Amino acid sequence: LQQLGARLQALGVQISAEAGNALRAEAEIEMTEAKRRVPVKTGSLKGSGHVIGPIPDGRDVKVVMSFGGPAADYALYVHENTEALHPNGQSKYLESVLLESAPHLAQRIAARIKRTLGG
Per-residue model confidence as pLDDT tens digits over 13-50: 778 888 999 999 999 999 999 999 999 998 999 999 99
* Closest residue by Cα to residue 94 from 109, 108, 76: 76
pLDDT digits (tens, 9 = 90+) for 66-90: 998 877 788 989 999 999 999 999 9
In three-state form (DSSP H/G/I as H, E/B as E, the rest C), the secondary structure along the chain is CHHHHHHHHHHHHHHHHHHHHHHHHHHHHHHHHHHHHCCCCCCHHHHCCEEEEEEEECCEEEEEEECCHHHHHHHHHHHHCCCCCCCCCCCCCCHHHHHHHHHHHHHHHHHHHHHHCCC
Q: What is the pTM of this model?
A: 0.87
